[in-house]
């Protein structure tokens, strides 16, 4: 749980969460984040939620398939040979 004393490792973990999921942290930062996640139930729950949340947003954002008529219109834009 949150320590409440000065420097809070959970706050730091929270700040690293999105870059961690985006895979843009350095090796050292990844190790730091993973070490904290291994030992902290509070952040691990939230990490699992963030993973699920990303999948949820992606699934929600996926549109219906492109209408076949539009595909045909795009093909018609090709340069005639």
Partner 1 sequence: MSDASESSARQLATDARDRVRFEEEALELSDQVYGVARRLVGSREAAEDLVQETYARAFRSWRSFQPGTNLRAWLFRILTNLNIDRGRKLQRTPDLQPLEESDYFLYNKLEQSGSGGSPDEQRVVERLSQNDAVTALADLPHDFRDVVLLVDLADFTYSDAAQILDIPIGTVMSRLHRGRRILKRTLADTAVEEA
Closest CA to 1 of 36, 49, 29, 48: 36
Is residue 31 close enough to count as binding partner 1 by CB under 8 A? no
Q: Residue 5 interacts with partner 1 (CB under 8 A)? A: no
Q: By rule CB under 8 A, what count of residues binds partner 1? A: 36
Please give the Cα distance from 6 to 40 (Å, whole number): 17
The DSSP 8-state label assigned to residue 64 in this structure reads P
Q: Is residue 61 close enough to count as binding partner 1 by CB under 8 A? A: yes
Q: Is 73 in the site for partner 1 (CB under 8 A)?
A: yes
How long, in residues, is the chain? 81
One of 8, 14, 34, 36 touching partner 1 (CB under 8 A): 14
């Amino acid at each position: 749980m949150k320590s409440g004393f000065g420097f809070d490792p959970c706050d730091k973990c929270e700040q690293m969460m999105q870059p961690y999921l985006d895979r843009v942290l350095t090796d050292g930062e990844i190790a730091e984040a993973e070490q904290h996640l291994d030992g902290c139930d509070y952040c691990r729950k939230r990490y699992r939620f963030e993973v699920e949340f990303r999948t949820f947003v992606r699934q929600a954002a996926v549109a219906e398939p492109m209408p076949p008529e539009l595909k045909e219109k795009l093909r018609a834009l090709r340069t005639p040979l």
